[in-house]
A and B are shown apart, each in its own frame.
Chain A
């Protein structure tokens, strides 16, 4: 059987104000502190479209190779739920912002193109808060802070063929959003949400099987696990001669399974009709052209360029392009210190040890600027400090915000590369370690390592390791 998956991804846009009113969109504010009559759905109020949200939508659409429609339209989607103050959601239906795009994904070194069916804008709903479960709570409270926050829904074509591909699609999609700066892509905070349509069909068949919608997948891991479970469930059902029921199932992460929602929970007739409070939105061609011209290089293109231009291994390229800030940091550092692999090693091992790759803000504000990292690497290169000392210097740079040369100078960390001075230290070490010398002479070459260690210890790590090795070998051979 062949697995067929389509993903619907909702992303909160990083606009400062809401989709249809001027309220702030900050996450985690005091309940109902970021609301007004418009996002509370009071009688007589009207929506006004947030231009920035449309701009973000167009930006994403272009990055996903979509056609931006010359006019689009908002529509009302009706269902009753108390987190939705008007009991309809302003969304887009027949005339979305953009259509027909694609996103490239890589799974196990193989590239595939996943089609994008449509991209549209809508408003988010509020949140219900209750003690315990909905069934047992004495009362529910509503927080409308999230009500009206701009959402972008992107629907893929049913081109995804495995749970791994679904996870890869979601990751690639998220990377595009984060790179463009249109969403923070945070699945835990709910700023990125994913639903999936899953069906199976005989290999080679053109027709689609009966699809099941999976909801409530709150992490990349749940997406993969939920889809793996669902594919298995459907395969077993079909193998047993059962029919697949078209339904919505919820992923239960605790129990590791999908379960059917009660039909009451999703059997909606949304009664869509064009939103009469908003005129059709005409998208100015020049606006689109301007956005296209300002589009940054996307993660995938950048990743490929990192391999070809800098000769980096694909793994390094992937790590370094996880966010725009990180990729830009790397490139700026390479301009200062033109040895890409050395820079890459430092960024991956030292920088990413202290910061998450997607924390754009923190990376941009890092005290160790790309220039300072370049300066530090130059000190290793010219032998002023050893690589080991450099790691300590890096730590100090992080704390103090000083450049490497200042720290090295002040703390006397300059490498000892004076043959005479080092020779004296080595002689002393050899004299104090007759047993190690004897071991070495008996063929235990590992004993040399211990001797090097002692020399480094005696010089507080400042000795030039290459010179220590050479001098030590010379002296040992003479004994």
Chain B
């Protein structure tokens, strides 16, 4: 059952063909064998996983399984707090930080019986698009070890792709679920802002941070979202709207759905293979009965620049708490407070994090605030209005996730080149809209390509439904990387 989606695995548990313990042991053995090379995990919670699996075994034996995720072995991005388990955020700063609380999303998955295999690697504080900015090690792309898995949720995405986990959770601030999902050939869903509680998600850009599933297929993404979505009294930005039954509407097809294809998502310099795959996917959707029309989202070209004002601004504030006083790293031997904090932050943060803290501090400074942060917020409003206007005409937007396939380690030394990778992913974060990446083919070199659907706020159901229709009509999900 290794490498099968969660819904098939747990169905097998129910039929008694295998057990959560057997599956967990197999996954753990696979991690032990392959992760040295892959680098998907920062922490493997072996004992805890086996205990949780044994409890799950007992529930299946007693006919009291807690639903389709009971016994599912998962990888959680290391930005999500786990009670009693070190949560590093991929940073030296939090190398030894053990939270006394679980993130709400994790608490909810645990409550329905999910088994945590470990904590997935990531770019430090979720800042990056390649997982090369992890302070501990890079993660490799299972399809080509010389290439990056994308980021910042590269660890859990690679783990799912390489069958080192049946599914997982990532976070998406500027594409960090969808871009690695596209690079690794798995499904990645970023829900509506506020659909999933951010409590226990170590903040990067608070108004942009989203938690969402990384999954083997769309059905699993729907099941994972079902478990983690919904109101949470601990997050004031979490929406109280009821959570629909996502699995129930998955198979309704795309017949009659109006899909918008935005001109601004097909740009000069993008990978021809990516464009070809996306356009072919659109043809498939048309063939399935969807109506496709060209639309325009004119603010798109400004979204990325704006994102690199807002996200660093919030990051500079959110990361101010890492000062060596309370938890995490403290560099010893300082003669006073200022020196203690300065030396701690100098040693604890990597270059990319420092770059964004400086950028964010600058744009919030007196005299610059209006010119940068104030203006960026206005552009953000324009990005939202673009989507509002588009959703007056179409039900979903269909687009590429990235302009290119996975690149090689070290290929994008220039930060700006790296940032450009998220040009198609960032607008949905800025507008807080649900968006999914689903595999839509492979490049000639055998690297996965992702197809993106963006939906109206809180309409994850349509996003999932369209992705499911496309997935079921195409063979991509059956292909596996050749690893061990």
Contact = CB atoms under 8 A, between A and B. Distances in A.
B320 A276 contact: no
A44 B234 contact: no
B323 A80 contact: yes
Interface string A81-96: 0100111100000000
B349 to A, nearest CB: 14
Contacts of A271: 316-317, 361, 364-366, 369
Given A88-B320, A269-B366, A277 B100 contact: no
Interface in A195-221: none
Interface string A76-114: 101010100111100000000000000000000000000
A80 B205 CA distance: 20
B236 A277 contact: yes
A273 B313 contact: yes
Contacts of B321: 41, 43, 85-87
Determine the main DSSP class of A at the interface with B: loop
Given A82-B337, A278-B236, A43 B87 contact: yes
Contacts of B198: 44, 46
A42 interface: yes
B120 interface: no
Given A49-B236, A276-B314, A277-B236, A44 B203 contact: yes
Contacts of A41: 321, 326
A43 B365 contact: no
A43 B202 contact: yes
B200 A45 contact: yes
B109 to A, nearest CB: 16
B236 A87 contact: no
Interface in A232-285: 269, 271-273, 276-279
A273 B94 contact: no
Contacts of B81: 43-44
A41 B207 CA distance: 18
A80 B323 CA distance: 9
A44 B326 contact: no
A40 B326 contact: yes
Given A85-B321, A88-B320, A279 B202 contact: no
A315 B99 CA distance: 59
B201 interface: yes
B236 A86 contact: no
B203 A43 contact: yes
Contacts of A86: 320-321
Interface string B213-236: 000000000000000000001111
Nearest to B103: A44
A3 B212 CA distance: 60
A273 B81 CA distance: 26
A44 B201 contact: yes
B325 A82 contact: yes
A47 interface: yes
A125 to B, nearest CB: 12
A85 B317 CA distance: 12
A42 B199 contact: no
B341 interface: yes
A276 B99 contact: no
Contacts of A272: 364
B364 A43 contact: no
A41 B317 CA distance: 12
B266 interface: no
B373 interface: yes
Contacts of B205: 276
Given A42-B99, A279-B236, A273 B373 contact: yes
B235 A43 contact: no
Contacts of A279: 236-237
Contacts of A273: 313-314, 317, 364, 369, 373
Contacts of B338: 80
Given A271-B361, A271-B364, A80 B237 contact: no
A48 interface: yes
Contact of A44 (B202, B314, B369): B202
A453 interface: no
Interface string B400-416: 00000000000000000
A37 B99 CA distance: 9
Contact of B97 (A43, A80, A87, A142): A43
A42, A85, A140: most-surrounded residue (chain B CB, <10 A): A42
Contacts of B94: 43
A80 B320 contact: yes
B320 A42 contact: no
A87 B341 CA distance: 11
A86 B321 CA distance: 4
Nearest to A140: B337
Given A43-B87, A45-B200, A277-B235, 11 more contacts: A42-B101, A42-B327, A44-B199, A48-B234, A78-B320, A80-B323, A82-B325, A142-B325, A276-B205, A276-B237, A277-B236
Q: Which 7 A-B pairs have the closest CB atoms?
A: A87-B320, A276-B206, A276-B207, A271-B364, A43-B202, A44-B202, A82-B325
Interface of A: 37, 40-49, 76, 78, 80, 82, 85-88, 140, 142, 269, 271-273, 276-279
11 contacts: A41-B321, A41-B326, A42-B101, A44-B80, A44-B81, A44-B99, A48-B233, A78-B317, A271-B369, A272-B364, A273-B317
